[in-house]
Amino acid sequence: MEKTTKWDSMKISEFLLNYALYIILGLMLIVIICVNPKFLSVSNFTKILTQASTRIILALGVAGMIVLAGTDLSVGRIVGCSAAVTASLVQATTYGSRMYQFEKDLPLIVPLLASIAVAMIFCVINGFGVAKLHLHAFIISLGTQLIAFGCTCIYINSQGGGAQALSTFNAKFNNFVTGAFNIGGFKLPYLIIYATIAVVIMYIVWNKTTLGKNMFAIGGNTEAAAVSGVNVAKNIMGVYIIAGVLYGVASFLEAGRIGSVNTGTGLNYDLDAISGCVIGGVSFSGGVGTIPGVVIGVVILQVITYAFNFLGIDPYLQYIIRGFIIILAVSIDVRKYIAKK
């Protein structure tokens, strides 16, 4: 009887440790709904998923680095730089203050590839630093964060009219990003579809490819993976290159979603992506994480953020609450790691 009671208490403790954050966030959501029941509507949740779409794509890239027991502090500034390049290439030809004096709109594939190329350059630098120079991802991404921000400022300031926001995009680009399918009166935004496609692709990469299996092996135990014949450097570079593609696509879409790009674009996107991953169960200890978990984590975080705005909570107070959520998420992750050891 005593053994059974002890076993039950251990199972309860393990359950609380694994799901404590979800329970707390769930209780917060219940309180918000009680305060304002109007929050529960199809319209609101469609808006939440639309806003979360680009964050999900970014988090899918960051998650791979966290699985490798690393991180990426540069993602926000990479988004800002890539989005600035995108914005400059999709400005309407009728806009007098456009950066480039194109006579007609460029095919959308051009700004998309340009955005991906910019993001990949920074991710390759990060990947090379981690894979070949054996720098910690924290340090190398901190450096590229500053480089990306500097490049963004120089690029935006190089306009003929000075440091003004890049805006007034052509109709084709606006429709591609912010358009929606009309299904029996219900509008399904394209952004949700793009995010879903990215999720499906990354689920296959993580679970059905050699790169995905090697990524988890390296994150779990780098030395053991190397001994078993895994090319550690090659696979790390592969993860970073994929992240670059995801960042580039997300930046392209984010430019259209927000409608204007300036030097502040991308600020705190790295924190949103990282915290979404950790909330979704991707462990900083490496070798642990799932794609559905990443999606759930980002959506939960976006629901809380949208709910705060919906209730008119002070933005500065929101920063404090989100900070506590990140600390709590990482603390629980560390406790799980200690418990396993």
pTM above 0.95, yes or no: no
How do residues 253-292 score in pLDDT, each as one tens digit? 999 999 999 999 999 899 889 989 988 889 888 999 999 9
Percent of the chain with pLDDT over 90: 62
DSSP string, 230-280: --HHHHHHHHHHHHHHHHHHHHHHHHHHHSEE-TTTTTTHHHHHHHHHHHT
Residue 287 and residue 207: Cα distance in Å, rounded? 13
Q: 321: pLDDT confidence band, cut at 50, 70 and 90? A: confident
Task: Note the pLDDT of residue 10.
Answer: 57
Average pLDDT (9-21) is: 66
DSSP state of 106: P
Residue 337 pLDDT exceeds 70: no
Instruction: Name the least confident of 84-93, 215-224, 240-249, 310-319.
Output: 310-319
Task: Note the pLDDT of residue 13.
Answer: 67
9 vs 244 pLDDT, higher one: 244
Residue 333 and residue 280: Cα distance in Å, rounded? 11
How do residues 130-140 score in pLDDT, each as one tens digit? 999 999 999 99
Work out whether the CA dihedral 260, 265, 270, 276 comes out positive or negative: negative
Task: Note the pLDDT of residue 216.
Answer: 96
Q: Domain map of the chain by residue range?
A: 44-266
